Amino acid sequence: MANKRYVCIICPNSCEIDVEYSGKTLTKISGQTCKRGDEYVRKELIAPERGITTSVPVRGGSIPLVSVRSSKTVPKELLPNLIAEISKVRAAAPVKMGDILIKNVLGTGADIIATKNVPRKQA
Amino acid sequence: METRFDVAVIGGGVVGCAIARELTKYKLTVALLEKECDVALGTSGRNSGVSHAGFYVPTGTLKAKLNIEGHEMMPAFCKELGVPYLPVGKIVTAKEEDEREYLYKLKGIGEKNGCKKLRIIDEKEIKKLEPNIKGIEALHSPTTSILDPFLLTIALAENAHRNGACVRLNTLVQEIEQKKDGFRIVSNNGNYTSGIVINSAGLYSDKIAAMVGINDYKIFPCRGEYHILDKNKRNLINGAVYPVPPKELGGLGIHLTPTTDGNIMLGPSAEYLPEPDDYGNTSEVMDKLFMESFEFLPKISRKDIIKSFSGIRPKLIPSGSKAPADFVMEESRKVPGFINLIGIESPGLTGAPAIAKRVSAMVKEIRGGLAENGAFDPVEKSKIRFAELSHREKSELINKDPNYGLVICRCQTVTKKEVIDALNNPLSARSIYSVSKRCRATLGRCQGGFCTPKIIEIMEELYHTKTSDINYAGKGSELFTGKKEGVE
Amino acid sequence: MITKTVDVAIVGGGPAGLSAAISAKKNGAGNVLIIERGENLGGILNQCIHEGFGIETFGEALSGPEYMQRFIDQVEENKIPYLLNSMVLEITRERKLLVASREGLIEINAKAVVLCMGCRERTRGQICTPGTRPAGVYTAGAAQNFINLKGYRIGEKVVILGSGDIGLIMARRLTVEGAKVLAVVELMPYSSGLPRNMVQCLHDYDIPLYLSHTVTEIHGKKRVEAVTLAQVDERFKPIPGTEKKIDCDTLLLSVGLIPENELTRNAGIAVDEITGGAIIDERMQTSIPGIFACGNVLHVHDVVDYVSMEGDKAGKDAAEYSLGKAKMEGAIRVKPGPGVRYVLPQLLSGEEDVLLSMRVISPARNVKISLIDKGRAAKTIMKPRVNPAEMIQIKVKKGELAGCKEITVTLQNGK
């Protein structure tokens, strides 16, 4: 039986949520003030997930990089693999915000999408 | 690659550059060898920027003679080189009765040295000249002036280059061999032979002299720390203000000196160092420097400090020594043709124009005469400062060249054209330092936070500069460790 | 010289400026002009590629560029003109702006002006960190620009001074890009960053956090070679004997933001020395009628949604001013009391419902925030947790201000 205190990151309230757990089983939870916080902590204990934001080089663009993010969170332990996968990508201008640069990255169900418009470089 | 010169000047400080330029007035081949990526990176770029009137130097010394001569020559010197010179004046203020004596002593020394226009002023006049300064009596030196030591040294080097001198930056002298007809200089950037060598290597002048077996000199590095205040406090003082140094031990004796760019500098302190290369600032001195300045001028606050730096004086006397040392400025008797300038601390900047003339006379003597260079052009055009122009002048400039309309440095209002001009300097010096000292970008309150990326963009636009060649002040001071893989 | 006349001039095309511009247009201003010094609209959010923006405004956690695109789209939809690569050099009391642009020097006569210049970063020079001045010392925002916009690697072994959000975000960003972040160093005994950033930027990457520590020396002749850390006492003075030298090649500084009010001061507008921004009334109007201020140039924000809200308000009032709708002067003064660092606006008219923005001096739990006038609490609210890094907003109805002359906002134990 172990105890842990989480700070919920879902909204600026940053509730402090205490849990009691054994292995991956949660036995007691207190301090949460909403359902989302409850969900977050359960997930964080058992199968934490994270999103990623980074940049990808663009060929022929008005700027050299396009910022990207994952369309949804993925298992936290896959992040290093995701980062490695993303680092292989080279985008080509024009890139539109929302363009999918990697579809279903590493089978996680998350896409890597552009978060900026990058028009072609003016001559 | 071996190149032969009549004269090789070692050291691109204000003195070395002034000498090199002076020598191009004659039919001589001149080389200026500087180890850093640009000129004025040593003591010449780390001082108060003052042309002193000549009352701080002991009477009868070479220092005094050169101070007075240099101070006299300086206004015309700066004018022809297109660099700012502001006769803001200086007051040395006494706040206690027993400090009055010091003022009279200084005045006496000054007048003996040949200073003109020194006067003792009373409390009322102090208030008139400097409303924020308290004092019961002061020594007023109306001719004491401020200048920009970077712009001056740069103009000297660029003018020397234009008049035919070979200015070699990034050139560290490693060995000097005495030959039958002169000297062979080995450096990390080519080898040179020269009939005459002028050692103006500042903090390393003792080491340069030792290369030809002259071991009579030792430099004792003495560091002085400074604070630079935000321009919005410029109006607290009009000219330079130096309170009489405190009698009690441990007091720094602060100076408040305005700069030609509109800041105020506090300092310098004095601390002997074992080696001439530690330009750090210490918390004890930074603290003391501020507190003593604040006691004297309570309208400043710590928030006003935008940057601190330090300079190192090449002293010829060790810590604790009472006997003052004079400049060493002579052709070595042991090694003919080798002219040593050693221990050139203050008033080296003030004395630079006079030192150049003196050394050129030495060269003439050695060579038995010099022929004039009829093509010598003494004039360097002054740099355009967009920030200082009237609305109409600004408007006209932009219409002539749209790059004057793009402001790159927000704090100092420096435009793209000024950055381009700075980068296109004739010495091909392309570090951030080189740009900043020529056009004043990065030197404002945000210290380059906003404009450095833009300056780098311009560098890349103009020269396709490699990432590994983008540095602050030469090799080793690169800004980046590389680029993200795949970025164009 | 080119001359223009506009109804509302917006200085700065970042989050505050775009909000103000859209709001001014929507509230009836005739012609609105945005003047932006950068190459694009969007301001600092162009380089904030991480998520977390827009939770209040859109109910989504967007990245900076995505958040800004929502506003840029509205600017285009509303056909609001904007100047890029144009720097305002001067603003006068008469609301005349002098602008440098490649097309020429422009003089703009505006009926109303909204100041949205944002802020700059506190530098190493300002905090007087001892040691040498080698390359490799960056403020976090400058580093963010190099990494996110240009693709440079600023260093491989990094120490970060300051655990505010910008420092924490950069700790993660650098790690994702393959650099090693050796430590985040924080002067205070607590981090000033949002808890979610502590989790996602430090804990996730096992980056050590040194609380109650500071950098006491920078080492390196030409490039950073190491930094010395030391623990600090309750007066934030380094404790001798606690020094620890860390080999690194980069020092990142996240030591505070300063509103960019040079134009403001030069115009003669009254500035509050604590916020670093203009003194305003509830219309976001400064001491010069017709000149308004909002966003980071007014006071440093943590959440961009509040910046947009402020911009929205300022734009509305600037539009109304430009249309000649006179409003009553603010005569009720608002001051920070014990426990409170600052409160905005500093002047209220009492004619409108208002939103007060404030920050506390130290973190505290179970507190009571009171608006005290003549010894009486005009309003009281309870908060379970407050900390200096999180701006607090208090809605006050105009009825609650009836009869007030000078309000002091205080923080007390809320038992």
pLDDT in tens, C252-277: 999 999 999 999 999 999 999 999 99
Sign of CA pseudo-dihedral C226, C232, C237, C243: negative
Calpha distance C138→C162 (Å, rounded): 12
Amino acid A36: pLDDT = 85
Residue C224 CA, distance from chain mean position: 29
The pair of structure tokens assigned to B267 is 């300092």
Average pLDDT value for chain C: 95
Cβ atoms of B58 and B323 within 8 Å: the answer is no
pLDDT in tens, C175-198: 999 999 999 999 999 988 888 888
Q: Is the same domain home to C114 and C230?
A: no
Q: Is the same domain home to A94 and A59?
A: yes
Residue of A41 and C65 predicted with greater confidence: C65
Return the percentage of chain C with pLDDT > 90, whole number. Answer: 89
Rg for chain B (alpha carbons), in Å? 23
Q: Is the same domain home to B238 and B299?
A: yes
Average pLDDT value for chain B: 96
CATH number of the domain within which B29 lies: 3.50.50.60
**Residue type, position B218, single letter:** K
Selection from C215, C241, C212 nearest residue C228 by Cα: C215
Q: Across the interface, do B484 and A59 touch by the CB < 8 Å criterion?
A: no
Instruction: Tell which of C300, C327, C354 closes a domain.
Output: C327
Q: Across the interface, do A90 and B486 touch by the CB < 8 Å criterion?
A: yes
B-interface mutation test, from A83, A86, A90, A95, most B Cβ less than 10 A away: A90
Amino acid B75: pLDDT = 98
Helix or strand or coil: residue B121? strand
Q: Is the pLDDT of residue C398 over 70?
A: yes
Residue of A nearest to B457 (CA): A63
**Strand C376-386 versus strand C364-373 pairing type:** antiparallel
Q: Is the pLDDT of residue B441 over 90?
A: yes
Q: What is the dihedral of CA C16, C17, C21, C24, to 10 degrees?
A: 60
Q: Does B280 touch chain C (CB under 8 A)?
A: yes
Q: Is B294 inside a domain boundary?
A: yes
Q: Is B253 inside a domain boundary?
A: yes
Q: Is the same domain home to A41 and A58?
A: no
Residue C104 confidence class, pLDDT cut points 50, 70, 90 = very high
Q: Is the same domain home to B232 and B300?
A: yes
B487 CA: distance to closest CA in chain A (Å): 5
Residue B158 CA, distance from chain mean position: 15
Return the percentage of chain C with pLDDT > 70, whole number. Answer: 100
Strand-pair partners of C411: C369
Cβ atoms of C81 and C101 within 8 Å: the answer is no
**Strand A74-75 versus strand A49-50 pairing type:** antiparallel
Q: Is the pLDDT of residue C291 over 90?
A: yes
Q: Is the pLDDT of residue C142 over 90?
A: yes
Residue of C nearest to A65 (CA): C149
Domain span at C86: 1-119+257-327
- Looking at beta carbons, which residues of chain C come within 8 Å of B411? 262
Q: Tell me the average pLDDT across B71-91.
A: 98
Amino acid B321: pLDDT = 84
Calpha distance C16→C115 (Å, rounded): 9
Instruction: Tell which of C327, C349, C384 closes a domain.
Output: C327
Calpha distance C295→C307 (Å, rounded): 5
Residue B3 confidence class, pLDDT cut points 50, 70, 90 = confident
- Looking at beta carbons, which residues of chain A come within 8 Å of C194? 12, 14
Amino acid B249: pLDDT = 65
Cβ atoms of C83 and C33 within 8 Å: the answer is yes
A81 CA: distance to closest CA in chain B (Å): 17
pLDDT in tens, B102-160: 999 999 999 999 998 999 999 999 999 999 999 999 999 999 999 999 999 999 999 99
Q: Report angle CA B250, B255, B259 to the nearest 5 degrees.
A: 150
Q: Is B30 inside a domain boundary?
A: yes
Nearest to B407 among C87, C121, C216 (CB): C87
Amino acid B171: pLDDT = 98
Q: Report angle CA C334, C339, C341 to the nearest 5 degrees.
A: 55
Amino acid A26: pLDDT = 86
Q: Is A88 inside a domain boundary?
A: yes
- Looking at beta carbons, which residues of chain A come within 8 Å of C198? 7
Q: Is the same domain home to C227 and C276?
A: no
Cβ atoms of C337 and C372 within 8 Å: the answer is yes
Q: What is the dihedral of CA B367, B371, B372, B374, to 10 degrees?
A: -140
Q: Is the pLDDT of residue B1 over 70?
A: no
The pair of structure tokens assigned to B207 is 């080491």
HEC readout, C205-266: HCCCEECCEEEEEEECCCECCEEEEEEECCCCCECCCCCEEEECCEEEECCCEEECCHHHHH
Amino acid B448: pLDDT = 96
H-only helix segments in C229-344:
262-266, 304-322
Domain span at A84: 53-114
Q: Across the interface, do A50 and C66 touch by the CB < 8 Å criterion?
A: no
Q: Is A75 inside a domain boundary?
A: yes
Helix or strand or coil: residue B24? coil
Q: Is the pLDDT of residue B395 over 90?
A: yes
Q: Is the pLDDT of residue A10 over 80?
A: no
Q: Is the same domain home to B130 and B160?
A: no
Q: Is the pLDDT of residue B38 over 80?
A: yes
Place of tokens 């990697």: A102
Residue B251 confidence class, pLDDT cut points 50, 70, 90 = low
Q: Does C216 touch chain B (CB under 8 A)?
A: yes
Q: Is the same domain home to A57 and A106?
A: yes
Q: Is the same domain home to B16 and B110?
A: no
Calpha distance B254→B286 (Å, rounded): 12
Q: Around B199, how many Cα atoms within 13 Å sit in the side-chain half-sphere?
A: 31
Q: Is A43 inside a domain boundary?
A: yes
B52, B161, B227, B255: the catalytic one is: B52
A-interface mutation test, from B454, B480, B484, B485, most A Cβ less than 10 A away: B484
**Residue type, position B371, single letter:** A
Q: Tell me the average pLDDT across B81-97.
A: 97
Q: Across the interface, do B480 and C123 touch by the CB < 8 Å criterion?
A: no
| B361 φψ region: left (φ > 0), alpha (ψ -120 to 50), beta (else) | alpha
Strands lying side by side in the sheet with C213-219: C213-219, C226-231, C244-247
Q: Is the same domain home to B306 and B339?
A: no
Q: Is the same domain home to B293 and B252?
A: yes
Q: Is the pLDDT of residue A12 over 70?
A: no
Residue C233 confidence class, pLDDT cut points 50, 70, 90 = very high
Q: Is B454 inside a domain boundary?
A: yes
**Number of structural domains chain B divides into:** 3
B466: burial class by Cβ within 10 Å (0-12, 13-18, 19+)? exposed
Amino acid C390: pLDDT = 87
Q: Is the same domain home to A76 and A92?
A: yes
Selection from B417, B393, B488, B412 nearest residue B450 by Cα: B412
Instruction: Tell which of C274, C303, C327 closes a domain.
Output: C327
Q: Across the interface, do C153 and B306 touch by the CB < 8 Å criterion?
A: no
Helix or strand or coil: residue C268? coil
**Number of structural domains chain A divides into:** 2
Cβ atoms of B150 and B14 within 8 Å: the answer is no
Amino acid C311: pLDDT = 98
Q: Is the same domain home to A58 and A99?
A: yes
Q: Across the interface, do B483 and C217 touch by the CB < 8 Å criterion?
A: no
Name the helix (H) or strand (E) containing B183: strand B182-187
Q: Is the pLDDT of residue B263 over 80?
A: yes
Calpha distance B448→C142 (Å, rounded): 9
Q: Is the pLDDT of residue C415 over 80?
A: no
Q: Is the same domain home to C82 and C131?
A: no
Catalytic residue flag (residue B52): yes
> Could you tell me the end-to-end alpha-carbon distance of chain C, in angstroms, rounded to an integer?
64
H-only helix segments in C177-215:
195-197
Q: Across the interface, do C50 and A14 touch by the CB < 8 Å criterion?
A: no
Sign of CA pseudo-dihedral C327, C332, C333, C336: negative
Q: Is the pLDDT of residue A89 over 70?
A: yes
Residue of C nearest to B398 (CA): C104
B372 CA: distance to closest CA in chain A (Å): 52
Q: Is the same domain home to A34 and A64?
A: no
pLDDT in tens, B52-74: 999 999 999 999 999 999 999 99
Q: Tell me the average pLDDT across B306-323.
A: 92
Q: Does C190 touch chain B (CB under 8 A)?
A: no
Q: Is B372 inside a domain boundary?
A: no
In C, residues 93-132, which contact B (CB 8 Å cutoff)? 98, 100-105, 107, 120-121, 123-126, 128, 130-132
Rounded to 10°, the helix C64-77/C304-322 angle is: 20
Amino acid B158: pLDDT = 98
Cβ atoms of C315 and C20 within 8 Å: the answer is yes
Q: Is the pLDDT of residue A13 over 80?
A: no
Cβ neighbors of B156 (< 8 A, separation 6 or more) are B14, B17, B18, B20, B21, B39, B81
Q: Is the same domain home to B227 and B214?
A: no
Distances (CA, A) of A59 to A89, A121, B365, C144: 11, 9, 65, 21
Provide ipTM, 2 decimals.
Answer: 0.96
Residue B377 CA, distance from chain mean position: 23
- Looking at beta carbons, which residues of chain B come within 8 Å of C121? 446, 449
Q: Is the same domain home to C236 and C268?
A: no
Residue of B323 and B240 predicted with greater confidence: B240
Q: Across the interface, do B486 and A55 touch by the CB < 8 Å criterion?
A: no
**Strand C244-247 versus strand C152-153 pairing type:** unpaired
Calpha distance B120→B129 (Å, rounded): 13
B254: how many CB neighbours lie within 10 A of its CB? 26
Q: Is the same domain home to B241 and B308?
A: yes
Amino acid B2: pLDDT = 61
Q: Report angle CA A82, A83, A86 to the nearest 5 degrees.
A: 85
Rg for chain C (alpha carbons), in Å? 22
Residue B47 CA, distance from chain mean position: 6
Q: Tell me the average pLDDT across C91-118.
A: 98
Calpha distance C270→C257 (Å, rounded): 20
Q: Is the same domain home to B104 and B188?
A: no
The pair of structure tokens assigned to B62 is 């070479």
Q: Is the same domain home to C348 and C407?
A: yes
In B, residues 389-418, which contact C (CB 8 Å cutoff)? 391-392, 394-395, 398-399, 402-407, 410-411, 413, 415
pLDDT in tens, C210-226: 999 999 999 999 999 99
The pair of structure tokens assigned to B230 is 């935000």
**Number of structural domains chain C divides into:** 3
Q: Is the same domain home to C335 and C346?
A: yes
Q: Is the pLDDT of residue C278 over 80?
A: yes
Average pLDDT value for chain A: 92
Q: Is the same domain home to B416 and B432?
A: yes
Which of B369-383, C214-228, C400-414 shows the lowest mean pLDDT across its residues?
C400-414
Amino acid B116: pLDDT = 85
B10: how many CB neighbours lie within 10 A of its CB? 29
Domain span at B109: 82-146+221-315
Q: Is B89 inside a domain boundary?
A: yes
Amino acid B250: pLDDT = 63
Q: Is the same domain home to C346 and C298?
A: no
Residue B189 confidence class, pLDDT cut points 50, 70, 90 = very high
Cβ neighbors of A39 (< 8 A, separation 6 or more) are none
CATH number of the domain within which C308 lies: 3.50.50.60
Cβ neighbors of A114 (< 8 A, separation 6 or more) are A56, A66, A67, A68, A91, A95, A96, A97, A98, A99, A101
Q: Is the same domain home to A24 and A60?
A: no
B-interface mutation test, from A54, A65, A86, A95, most B Cβ less than 10 A away: A65
Q: Is the same domain home to A110 and A57?
A: yes
Residue of C nearest to A6 (CA): C199
- Looking at beta carbons, which residues of chain A come within 8 Å of C204? 50, 76
Amino acid C196: pLDDT = 81
Q: Is A123 inside a domain boundary?
A: no
Calpha distance C147→C250 (Å, rounded): 14
CATH number of the domain within which B121 lies: 3.30.9.10
